[in-house]
Amino acid sequence: MIFAVDVARLCLRLCFLAALALGLAFWSGHALHDVPIHMAIGVIFVLALWTLGIFGLMTRVNLALSLLALGWGVLVLWLGIEQVHLVMSGHLSEMVKGLHFLAGIIAMGIGEPLGKRITAAGAPASA
């Protein structure tokens, strides 16, 4: 199980960096044709966050943080999907982009310490 947690943490980190780089490129008006790649990276990022949330529940390291990871993943996914519609309509475009950026940073701030706690706790007793 620790290997799976390590893989999820690595995916979370790499996806965060890749999505951040592409997101900043979009924000500056470049690489707009790469939006589907950014979205795919975002889905993998959320799956990694959910994986950590599930392993957090299994190891019982921090119930609140584990549930927050699962719920925040839903929010990030929803915001990422809805951002396309909201930005295209022109309503509050910059605010939506900023919220999307902030949601990703907060997700990283949830996933990284959760992964660290899971790794420190080791495998669950039932495994």
Instruction: Give pLDDT tens digits for 14-33.
Output: 999 999 999 889 888 887 78
pLDDT mean over 31-47: 91
The residues spanned by each domain of the chain are 2-121
C-alpha to C-alpha distance for 72 and 103, rounded to whole angstroms: 8
CA trace torsion 114, 115, 121, 124 (10° rounding): 100
C-alpha to C-alpha distance for 25 and 82, rounded to whole angstroms: 19
pLDDT mean over 54-77: 95
Interior CA angle at 109 toward 116 and 50, to 5°?
A: 70
